[in-house]
Structure 1
Amino acid sequence: MLDFLRRTLAFLREKQILQKLGVVLSITVICFALYILYQMLSDIDLDELLKALRGTEVKTVLLAGLCVAAGYFTLTFYDFFALRAIGKTEIPYRVAAFAGFTSYSIGHNVGASVFTGGAVRYRIYSSWDMTAIDVAKVCFLAGLTFWLGNVAVLGIGIVYHPEAASSIDQLPIWLNRVLAIVLLAGLVGYVAWVSSRPRHVGRGSWTVVLPGGPLTLVQIMIGIIDLSFCALAMYMLMPNEPHVGFVVVAVIFVTATLLGFASHSPGGLGVFDAAMLYGLTHFDSQFNKEELLAGMLLFRVLYYITPFMISVMLLLLREVILGALARRRPSGPHRHDDISAPGPS
């Protein structure tokens, strides 16, 4: 059976069928989300939207901004953890933080984050003698941390509040709870699997040693903390009435984020917004659309636009410094000629 699956996957990769199916799926998700978004926003009152934006307290925006900053701070440990997992212990946290922050904030906004984020990481880590294969391993382990955190948050959240998931997927509450239990059982099974003995994925130089049980639990906690801070920022920017619990918002937020990620649209634009509006208004029809949209626009500014602008400026500054150092050294820059390089000992 395993040999059959391997041959099938090899055939699909050879014919690029999986890639084509992925493109079709992305386009389908985006088109469907834009249709839903159009239907939901067709009766939006622009004056009411502007009033809701102006009515948001500065203190609320600042607190949400702090949560976003905390989320991005936690996100830097995705790369730091991955570097330690592949044995790159000589690379300090500040380099991992710089690479993690810039790659994720640019990848989130540009779309196709696997490629755009990987390109940013390679540009930074290549200064530390890391190869393209090393960077690919970091991307894989960082992505694994992201998915483990998502599974944990969705599993726990849906078990506690299955009606939150039902507001998006329209499945029966009992079925969503069962699916969440299956998710958590799979997560527990994965932890047990990597705990039993060293596990490897990939072949040859592309082989990655998966973190063992205790380190996998660390991965899960990093992902949970990151997603919780981001969901908390969204929760703070929501209307005060009607009141819904944080867990409900977290489940809908993570689901919307994953749908946006699956669409590969820049910043999940259209897909994330449609899922959030659809989920929250179906969970409680008393939500004011203008107030919801105002909170989502502020969240997009805080979580997407502001980090993107900061990242672009930091990368430009880095390139200017590297260029200046290269001109001072005719033989070419040293591998640690970097704004994040270690200083003199």
Structure 2
Amino acid sequence: MKKHILKAVNILIILVILYLTFTFLAKIFHSLSWEEVKSAVLLIDSKMITLVAILTALNYFIVTFYDLITVKQIKLKIPYKKVFLYSLTSFILNNNLGFGAIMGGALRFRYLTKIGMSPILITNYMILFSWIYWLGLIALSFVVFLFIEPGYSLSLPFIHFTIQAKLLGLVALIIVLIFFILSFLKQKKIISGAILYPIAKPKILLLQFTISTLDWLLLGLIFYFLLPNHSIGFFKYLPIYLVSQITAVSSHVPGGTGVFDGIMIFYLKNYYEVNALVGSLFIFRLVYFLIPLAFGILLFFFNEFYLSKNNYRIISIEK
């Protein structure tokens, strides 16, 4: 009964977030001059777009280490080439088409089943993988929100953002500390029968935090470099980016479409013209999502061919 209530509350919160953001965006788009948006897009420096394209490629390369670390943690011997293929395909398609981790999870389940993993082992794999995805966001939130400058605030209704941010940073710090304490306390063996201990050894945990933090930080840089004239400093921009990402990820909308955009426009319109922001968001969606999607679809068919033509089995599981 409690699970059903929590699920209903979660769905209600998501619907409220979607309603508020899309209502806000509807008002924004109604007053937009599309000619000015087009001009804003054309004014974005081509060198910046090239830099963003390079950072996007680097970001997609880094996220494949989520799967590689998980493979190492569970002590599976799978060549990196195979891990890279199914990881990159899953990430790209999930970013564009998946709700939450549904698309990426389904693709990983298919590939991991093909290489001979049992359902229990795949479940363990997905739990460990999910942890890594959130670790960087937690770590980055700790650093940014806990050490945010005292005078910095965002106009949230009824509550001063600095107070809320520092509380969020404190919670993130506590979570990080709990992870590392458990990492030192837990026994080193990761799998015992069907039981999984999700906290990695300290060295692996540190690597998980590093890779995930780099992922979230790079994504923040990608959009920041598309902003015109950088009227806002990067460290002043970071809290806005994190609030937008946390809300977008929580909404389970593919790529945070609409949610991320709406919150970024809401806060950054104090620093930039809305037309310029929409232009930057358009290029961001094109370079980070749509162009990789075309590549991801090709990768998907290549993977299907590769799976059918090759012996795609696990070599062994270390004891």
Aligned to 2:209: 220
| Cα displacement (A) at 1:63 | 0.1
Aligned to 1:160: 147
Q: Deviations over 1:201-260 (max 9, x none)?
A: 99972534420233212111111111111111111000105x212123232223212211
TM-score by length of 1: 0.82
Aligned to 1:192: 181
Change (3 A) 1:190 1:306: same
Q: Deviations over 1:138-172 (max 9, x none)?
A: 22222211211001111211233357984274532
Contiguous gaps of at least 5 residues in structure 2: none
Which residues in structure 2 correspond to 1:138-157 (within 5 Å)? 138-157=125-144
Q: Is the 8 A contact 1:168 1:278 kept in 2?
A: no
CA distance in structure 2 between the aligned counterparts of 1:199 and 1:179, rounded to whole angstroms: 31
CA distance in structure 1 between the aligned counterparts of 2:121 and 2:18, rounded to whole angstroms: 33
TM-score by length of 2: 0.88
Aligned to 1:294: 279
- 2:246 paired residue among 245, 258, 281: 258
**Identity within the alignment, %:** 22
1:306 correspondence with 2:286: no
CA distance in structure 2 between the aligned counterparts of 1:165 and 1:76, rounded to whole angstroms: 35
1:317 correspondence with 2:302: yes
Aligned to 2:92: 105
Aligned to 1:63: 51
SS at match of 1:102: helix
- 1:278 paired residue among 266, 271, 293: 266
1:53 correspondence with 2:41: yes
Change (3 A) 1:322 1:187: closer
Q: Is the 8 A contact 1:152 1:184 kept in 2?
A: yes
Aligned to 1:6: none
Q: Is the 8 A contact 2:190 2:197 kept in 1?
A: yes
CA distance in structure 2 between the aligned counterparts of 1:177 and 1:203, rounded to whole angstroms: 39
Q: What is the identity, as a one-letter code, of the residue corresponding to 1:101?
A: L
Change (3 A) 1:262 1:187: same
Q: Deviations over 1:157-195 (max 9, x none)?
A: 123335798427453224422431332133123212221
Q: Is the 8 A contact 2:137 2:212 kept in 1?
A: yes
Q: Deviations over 1:86-117 (max 9, x none)?
A: 121x1122222222221122112113232211
1:84 correspondence with 2:69: no
CA distance in structure 1 between the aligned counterparts of 2:217 and 2:186, rounded to whole angstroms: 31
CA distance in structure 2 between the aligned counterparts of 1:96 and 1:32, rounded to whole angstroms: 39
| Cα displacement (A) at 1:131 | 2.4
Q: What is the number of residues matched between the two proteins?
A: 313
- 2:115 paired residue among 112, 120, 128: 128
- 1:32 paired residue among 20, 37, 55: 20
CA distance in structure 1 between the aligned counterparts of 2:19 and 2:282, rounded to whole angstroms: 21
Change (3 A) 1:249 1:136: farther
| Cα displacement (A) at 1:293 | 1.2
CA distance in structure 2 between the aligned counterparts of 1:94 and 1:127, rounded to whole angstroms: 15
Q: What is the identity, as a one-letter code, of the residue corresponding to 1:180?
A: G
Change (3 A) 1:210 1:267: same
CA distance in structure 1 between the aligned counterparts of 2:18 and 2:191, rounded to whole angstroms: 32
1:239 correspondence with 2:228: yes
| Cα displacement (A) at 1:19 | 3.1
Q: What is the identity, as a one-letter code, of the residue corresponding to 2:203?
A: P
Contiguous gaps of at least 5 residues in structure 1: 1-10, 326-332
Aligned to 1:44: 32
Q: Is the 8 A contact 1:154 1:254 kept in 2?
A: yes
Q: What is the identity, as a one-letter code, of the residue corresponding to 2:60?
A: Y
CA distance in structure 1 between the aligned counterparts of 2:102 and 2:43, rounded to whole angstroms: 39
1:177 correspondence with 2:158: no
Q: Is the 8 A contact 2:139 2:213 kept in 1?
A: yes
| Cα displacement (A) at 1:27 | 1.8
